[in-house]
Amino acid sequence: MILAKTALITGISGQDGSYLAELLISKGYEVHGVIRRSSSFNTRRLDPIYKDPHEANTRLILHYGDLADGVSLTNLIRDLQPHEIYHLGAQSHVRVSFEIPEYTAQTTGLGTLRILEAIRASGVQTRFYQASSSEMFGAAPPPQNEHTPFHPRSPYAAAKVFAYWITVNFREAYGLFAVNGILFNHESHRRGETFVTRKISRAVARIRAGLQDKLYLGNLDALRDWGYAPDFVSAMWLMLQQSKADDFVIATGESHSVREFLDLAFDRVRLDWHQFVEVDPRYLRPSEVDHLRGDASKAERVLGWKPSVRFPELVALMVDADIQLLEDELAGRLVGVDRES
Ligand code: NAP
Ligand code: GDD
């Protein structure tokens, strides 16, 4: 009998964690995920693959843990001995990181070190993926690739730069199979509701239904390289299947402004966003990242990776999904999956 590969995912309840868990289960993996204790259910995105742990052949197993709690991470890694570890957990909101910088450094920065130390100290033979970010490039002009120097513009980005380099250091110092995926922005209808794309797609659905009449945003001129999250999680998996550990930029190679996102999103329902959108300075950042556009030619050459969804399709699918979600909510068709503690 061939034993299934096991993977451990931190941040499994987030956008990327949920898509990655689906991908790995479809490839026959047994998937273990770290979730935080919360006063309400925080595993909504896992509903499509969640099975009651009492059922036979459950391939998704959730464990309580926290990136600020090194003991929980060390115990899990030692006990599970996973073949692959995808470290996606983080305080991932850039604007919020200015308000909770120390917590962001603790989780987004030091969380990575805690996991790497747990791997090193336990001697577990595993492959490690670090969710690095295009935010690390910050003020460096586009196009950005693996050789572009970092110039972080937020506590979040600074914490990610630490996590990036500590991953490289553990690879060089201890020979760990540890890689950085430097991913540019990627979105979907599972994107957190306070990131700009999802904030817009949800607002479009609500304005169309007459439930909202204003959308308050910050900097409309920022340019981002926006891709589709399911495409991007497949690149994570590819990076851990290589014979040599290496770092890769993952991006679409196109950038668009927040204004362009608004144009396409409101056009989808034949509305003019200028009638609904107002700029509220509270959403501006003390220091902004003006322009991100990635050059993912190395990933295409080495991993054979290419994005399948482009900007107009991404906007359309997010708006359509939020319209459907709202209609389901209004019709009382949404019933969450219940689970045990
Ligand atoms: P996300 O939706 O915000 O998910 C973050 C995950 O981390 C959630 O599962 C969250 O749990 C968990 N988490 C937060 N703090 C934690 C803590 N103290 N202990 C344990 N878990 C904790 O983020 P995402 O968009 O899926 O992104 C995944 C990773 O890629 C993140 O590291 C992010 O910084 C990075 N990244 C994202 C993008 C992007 O465009 N999406 C681009 C580059 C890099 P809760 O559900 O309980 O909050
Ligand atoms: N969130 C938010 N809310 N952003 C706004 C708003 C608003 O009301 N109005 C304008 N923006 C602008 C931000 O100033 C930023 O320039 C751009 O929209 C994108 O903001 P976010 O969607 O919050 O994403 P981000 O680029 O700051 O960070 C995301 O991508 C990074 C990769 O580059 C996050 O997913 C990070 O975790 C990730 O590392």
Q: What is the mean pLDDT of the chain?
A: 96
Average pLDDT over residues 224-253: 98
Q: Of the residues 148, 195, 202, 283, which should be mutated to test ligand 2's pocket, given the most ligand atoms within 8 Å of the CB?
A: 195
Rounded Cα gap, residues 168 and 173, in angstroms: 9
Question: Relative to the alpha carbon of 215, which ligand is closest?
Answer: 2
In this prediction, residues 188-205 reach a mean pLDDT of 98
Q: For position 195, what pLDDT does the model report?
A: 98
Instruction: Kindly report, residue by residue over 30-43, the tens digit of the pLDDT.
Output: 999 999 999 988 99
Cβ 41 under 6 angstroms from ligand 2: no
**Total count of residues recorded for the chain:** 341
156 is catalytic: yes
Closest CA to 232 of 136, 162, 129, 324: 129
Residue 243: its pLDDT value, please?
Answer: 98
Distance CA 291, CA 254 (A): 11
Please name the residue whose Cα sits nearest to atom 28 of ligand 1. Answer: 88
Query: pLDDT exceeding 70 applies to what percent of the chain?
Result: 98
pLDDT score recorded for residue 1: 56
Ligand in closest contact with the CA of 198: 2
Q: What is the number of other CB atoms lying within 10 angstroms of the CB of residue 113?
A: 16
Task: Provide mean pLDDT across the span 225-245.
Answer: 98
In percent, how much of the chain has pLDDT > 90? 91
133 is catalytic: yes
The DSSP secondary-structure symbol of 45 reads G
pLDDT at 340: 60
What burial letters (b/e) apply to 22-42, b meaning 16+ CB within 10 Å?
bbbbeeebbbbbbbeeeeeee
Tens of pLDDT, residues 307-319 = 999 999 999 999 9
Q: What's the confidence (pLDDT) of residue 53?
A: 76
Work out the average pLDDT over 231-254.
Answer: 98
Mutational test site, ligand 1, from 9, 12, 16, 108, max ligand atoms within 8 Å of CB = 16
Cβ-proximal residues to 233 (8 Å cutoff; 6+ apart), any chain:
16, 19, 20, 23
Confidence bin at 26 (pLDDT 50/70/90): very high
Q: Which of 72, 88, 94 to mutate to test the pocket of ligand 1 (most atoms within 8 A of CB)?
A: 88
> Binning pLDDT at 50, 70 and 90, where does residue 341 land?
low
Q: Residue 233: pLDDT above 90? A: yes
Q: Catalytic: which of 133, 134, 188, 255?
A: 133
47 vs 197, more confident: 197
The pLDDT value recorded for residue 52 is 77
pLDDT digits (tens, 9 = 90+) for 75-97: 999 999 999 999 999 999 999 99
Rounded Cα distance between 71 and 64, Å, is 12
Give the chain's largest Cα–Cα span.
63
Of the two residues 2 and 123, the one the predictor is more confident about is 123
Judged on CB neighbours under 10 Å (0-12, 13-18, 19+), 92 is: buried
Burial class of residue 238 (count of CB atoms within 10 Å of its CB; 0-12, 13-18, 19+): middle
Q: Which ligand is nearest to the CA of 114?
A: 1
Please tell me the pTM assigned to this model.
0.97
Residue with tokens 């009638």: 275
Closest C-alpha residue for ligand 1 atom 40: 185
Using one digit for the tens of pLDDT, what is the confidence trace for 181-193?
999 999 999 999 9
pLDDT value, residue 50: 85
Atom 14 in ligand 2: residue holding the nearest Cα: 219
For residue 301, what pLDDT band results from cuts at 50, 70 and 90?
Answer: very high
Evaluate if residue 112 carries a pLDDT over 80: yes
Protein residue whose Cα sits closest to atom 20 of ligand 1: 66
